[in-house]
Amino acid sequence: MDHFNAFEILDGNRDSGMVILGDHAMNRLPARYDQLGLPAAAFERHIAYDIGVESLCRSLSARLGVPAVLGGFSRLLIDPNRGEDDPTLIMKISDGAIIPGNHPISAAEWDNRIATYHRPYHQAVGETIASVAAASGKAPLVLSLHSYTPAWKGVPRPWHAAVLWDTDDRAVLPLLSMLRAEGLVVGDNEPYDGALRGDTLYRHCMVTGIPHTLLEVRQDLIGDAAGISEWVDRLAPIFTAMNDDPALHRYQIFPSRTGPYA
């Protein structure tokens, strides 16, 4: 059986009080899955990973000197940003692409992917957040980075970036304010809604009272080295200013819009 890492941890100052996450940073698959029956080109599309996010996470982690956790597998294998009971955890079709290796899928293989890839990633996220909390003596600020396509079903998306959230707006409001102050068009829970029961931030932050937010950047803006550099220069001082605010380092539980906690 081939050796495969379900996650990668980028080291940083644990006493910084900040953690960066990249759920969909990579498009990798274990060799035994034989590309899930898809052509290699499918793994260069957004259906396989969040384009630009791996480089953005690595660069921001290095610039800020903070730890980050990157998902080490393609979302086509199993989606780390879904709860274990979510029916879209392993997709049969994504944006028109049928995924032969995911349909049919046995219950045993479904459980194997959770145990081998999904749970180890979340264990790494949980342990990293806990270690930062212990080292800093405060609730960490957790920043989850994603990206989205410039258009959907032929309709251009006007937002340069989007901030997604459930009900905890402690990190959301300052991030929205500072991004918009730069003249950017920033979606507030659009083009996606951030309230998703069982997703990464729900699991590790909403139910534990840790301040957090999810930032999506349009993929054409971070699709090359120049774009990555521009967004690192933009985000690093914003994230630093947020992290320097004591109000963003308190544990506080917010009821979720997705219903009561399990």
pTM given for the model: 0.97
Per-residue tokens: 20: 């960066």
pLDDT at residue 223 above 90? yes
**The pLDDT of residue 97:** 85
pLDDT at residue 124 above 70? yes
For the chain, what is the mean pLDDT? 96
Q: What is the pLDDT of residues 81-92, one digit of tens each?
A: 999 999 999 999
**The pLDDT of residue 1:** 44
Mean pLDDT of 64-70: 98
**The pLDDT of residue 262:** 60
pLDDT at residue 2 above 70? no
Q: How confident is the model at residue 95 (pLDDT cuts 50, 70, 90)?
A: confident
Where in the chain are the domains?
7-245
**The pLDDT of residue 154:** 86
Which CATH number describes the domain made up of 7-245?
3.40.630.40
232: Cβ contacts below 8 Å, ≥ 6 apart: 56, 59, 60, 63
CA nearest neighbour of 67 among 156, 113, 5, 135: 135
Mean pLDDT of 169-190: 98
Alpha-helical segments (H) within the chain? 53-64, 107-113, 119-136, 172-180, 200-201, 225-243
Q: What is the pLDDT of residues 3-33, one digit of tens each?
A: 899 999 999 999 999 999 999 999 999 999 9
How far is residue 194's CA from residue 201's CA, in Å, rounded to a whole number?
9
Mean pLDDT of 161-169: 98
Q: Is residue 157 a contact partner of residue 148, using CB atoms and an 8 Å limit?
A: yes
